[in-house]
Amino acid sequence: MDVTSGRAVRGPFGVFAEYWWLFLVRGLAAIVFGVLAVALPGITLTALAILFGIYALVDATGSFMSAFQQHEDAGHRALHALEGLVALVIGVLAIVLPEITALALVVLIGAWAIVTGAAEVAAAIRLRRVIANEWLLAAAGVLSIVAGLVIFVWPDAGALAIAWVIGVYAIVFGVVMISLAMRLRSMRPSV
């Protein structure tokens, strides 16, 4: 339902309400990754790379599913496809080459966070007329961009600090995505 009018959401954004659970899965995966990164900051960078790679693959799957459900909005579809492609490449690299240097991993994570953030902000702008409180999606996007920039500015802060920054970011991002999922779920047309 359109939160402002009480009508069922139609058009390309109705898919968001129908597939609200994709946002929930992304949020839960982000929280699990974040909690593990914060709770176990002393784990080796290799383990963190593999853990991040798994999370990125889950995120890529959600992005691709969102992209291929959007038949009417080519721009939105392209943004989600780009987000999914970046997450897929980074996830595979992190899993296949976990021994890459800390700096390379940090740069990959920072780039992924910025691309993801830009896609989320763009989606929030497109959704602003369809759902109330679209700021949650925009906030997740801005948070991603800020986290990516922080990671780029201080790449040599060490694996421990990076684990904490990434972990806290992932937890907050996950909470925002779950909140958005619940709002989208409430928008589904009633049976």
The CA distance from 10 to 81, in Å, is 22
Whether residue 41 contacts residue 167, with contact meaning beta carbons closer than 8 Å, is answered with: yes
Radius of gyration of the chain (CA): 17
Per-residue pLDDT reduced to its tens digit, 22-72: 889 989 999 998 998 888 876 656 777 788 888 889 889 988 888 887 667
Greatest Cα pair distance, the chain, in angstroms, is: 54
The CA distance from 45 to 59, in Å, is 20
pTM: 0.55
The CA distance from 188 to 96, in Å, is 39
Q: Does the domain made of 11-186 have the CATH classification 1.25.40?
A: yes
The CA distance from 87 to 55, in Å, is 9
Per-residue pLDDT reduced to its tens digit, 104-163: 777 777 888 899 889 889 888 887 777 777 788 888 889 889 888 887 887 766 566 777
The CA distance from 130 to 136, in Å, is 14
If 0-12 CB within 10 Å is exposed, 13-18 middle and 19+ buried, where does residue 79 land? buried
